[in-house]
A = this chain, B = another copy of it.
């Protein structure tokens, strides 16, 4: 699904969009999000999150600003272009979901989501990383 999303977002003119971007964009809130928090939400290391962030920043969809409350921290937030691409991504996602709904039926899709959510919540609650 993620790959399909990336393909279609690219097809809409965002040539350099990578599958890994969806996770980043989706986990940054409107007021911006710190790198560590983002990494946690994505279930990857801070370093990995930082790398994606840099790539996306280079394309102009995000910017990194120092956290006023913590000199160590950096806050990533959407640029206008980023909000634009986010809207596109949401459209694309809804489109894909509606295709799934055609295949599974409205109830089927709902049940699938519920089952997967339940599983994801119980299993490996925050990824296998912080076990360290």
Q: Smallest Cβ distance from A96 to chain B, in angstroms?
A: 9
Contact with B along A90-132 (1 / 0, CB 8 A): 0000000001100110001001100110110011100010000
Contacts of A124 in B (CB 8 A): 4
**A contact residues, range:** 10 to 19
Contacts of A10 in B (CB 8 A): none
Q: Does A3 contact B (CB under 8 A)?
A: yes
**A114's closest neighbor in chain B, by CB?**
B108
Contact with B along A27-45 (1 / 0, CB 8 A): 0000000000000000000
Stoichiometry, copies per complex:
2
Which one of B115, B123, B128 contacts A108 once the chains associate, using CB atoms below 8 Å?
B115
Which one of B99, B104, B128 contacts A118 once the chains associate, using CB atoms below 8 Å?
B104
Which one of B4, B108, B111, B118 contacts A103 once the chains associate, using CB atoms below 8 Å?
B118
Measured in the bound complex, the distance between the Cα atoms of B122 and A3 in whole Å is 16
Residues of A bordering B, CB below 8 Å:
3-4, 7, 99-100, 103-104, 108, 111-112, 115-116, 118-119, 122-124, 128
Between A and B, 15 residue pairs with Cβ closer than 8 Å are A3-B128, A4-B124, A100-B119, A103-B118, A103-B119, A103-B123, A104-B115, A104-B118, A104-B119, A108-B115, A108-B118, A112-B112, A112-B115, A112-B116, A112-B119
